[in-house]
Amino acid sequence: MSELTKLTIAQARDKMAKGEFTAVELTEAHIQAMAAKRNLGAYIVETPDLAREQAKASDLRRQAGQAGALEGIPLGIKDLFCTKNVQTTAASRILEGFKPQYESTVSGKLLDAGSVMLGKLNLDEFAMGSSNMTSYYGKVTNPWKSKADPAKKLVPGGSSGGSAAAVAARIAMGATGTDTGGSIRQPAAFCGITGIKPTYGRCSRWGVVAFASSLDQAGPMARDVRDCAIMLGAMAGHDPKDSTSAPMAVPNFEAALTGDIRGLKVGIPKEYRPDGLSDEIQKVWEQGIEWLKAAGATPVEITLPHTKYALPTYYIVAPAEASSNLARYDGVRFGLRVEGSSLDDMYKKTRAAGFGSEVRRRIMIGTYVLSAGYYDAYYSKAQKVRRLIADDFKKAFETVDVILTPTAPSAAFGMDENTDDPVTMWLNDVFTIPTSLAGLPGLSLPAGLDAAGLPLGLQLIGRPFDEETVFKVAGVMESAAGFTATPEGV
């Protein structure tokens, strides 16, 4: 049974179509694997009974010739997606016990495609973080171990750290993630898996607990490029319930994996070589460029001059939107309530008890930059700089087809490192934030290992709604890398 957890989504799909095993058998193998690896803290809620029911229904549909694109595939759902009658917490105490009476559009689409839900995956509280250390339900441990210090526990990245750890540890075949400033791509890099943040508007945000509404975007996380393409095809599509959902047709992303990138031009931004960039990251990046040249693509140096302003811009825009979105958690309608001597006192006590330190920090920053006298000085100016960052990419894509950069400035770090200084933690997203501010698709895939045997990721950035080219180039790079990043013992 354990061999079934080592399959990719595409392999499992094809083998079930041939009748080699059933969805029930595949699901049971993953339920057993989940139980054996609870020490990772990847799941907040496990739903084995529901998964078994869904797997049985899946086998019946297959027998009736009604198999969907993800028929019988066991997936984990990030606990930011509302799931009907299953607790949804955003990893926060303030939502403990909340069971939505509706299904998010994305998780609903995955169910409609025949998938099986194994449970709700851990994350940084309200998706705010780069390490998965801020969850009220406990830290998530990266299944990878450093050869230099095998006893040291490593972070899986964030905020989708539970999703990345579950896929890497083979306790989910794929998982949903959300990406606001890098929360799919950075944990994908840290855990040696593939993850894509699609173009803003490609996937519906309806039923996803909001962090920063102009940045949040759902996307798939899986073991390889093909699996991500299969998942995104099921997740994407226009949703009239979401005003930011783009009325665009969904291409066959899997069909884009032709292996032919001859004649494509690949942008290499000089601004992504900051002082102090590690030699190992630099080496992997250069290797990625060589792979693309060997496949017939042409590297072109480009400039994205406003990149240096991306981090401060993001940390004005995102907290401002968060302070507005999180105002709804007041102890009145749902979730935690701490009684007080008055209505205002109840608000204060509930929010103080319900929110963790990182969430409170960002709410305070956001409230400050939106306050009278500071809105024009900070928020309004940040929006103007955001437009300049987007224009840089627009100009670059006049001459190149895709852009190649590192995903993160380092490999996964220890749980006891970098956590005292929030600014140091925020720097983990320095390579991913510009893509988010511009609303572009960005994919991270494993491209090598560092000296300690930890995975390093490279990021491909595409034109708006051109995920097909991103997948095509990523597939070629994956083949050139010639390895599947797998933690020892998995």
Query: Considering 159, 160, 245, 436, which one is annotated as catalytic?
Result: 159
Closest CA to 437 of 487, 395, 383, 400: 383
Active site residue 159: yes
> The tokens of 484 are what?
């599947």
Active site residue 135: no
| Alpha carbons within 13 A on the beta-carbon side of 104 | 27
Query: Considering 78, 109, 145, 472, which one is annotated as catalytic?
Result: 78
Active site residue 479: no
> The tokens of 412 are what?
């996964």
Long-range contacts of 13-16 (CB under 8 A, 24+ apart): 13/70, 13/71, 13/73, 13/230, 16/62, 16/71, 16/72
Give the span between the Cα atoms of 209 and 272, in whole angstroms: 32
Give the span between the Cα atoms of 246 and 248, in whole angstroms: 5
Query: Considering 104, 163, 183, 204, which one is annotated as catalytic?
Result: 183
Give the span between the Cα atoms of 71 and 51, in whole angstroms: 13
Residue 133 Cα to chain centre, angstroms: 16
Give the span between the Cα atoms of 382 and 286, in whole angstroms: 33
Which residues does the annotation mark as catalytic?
A: 78, 159, 183
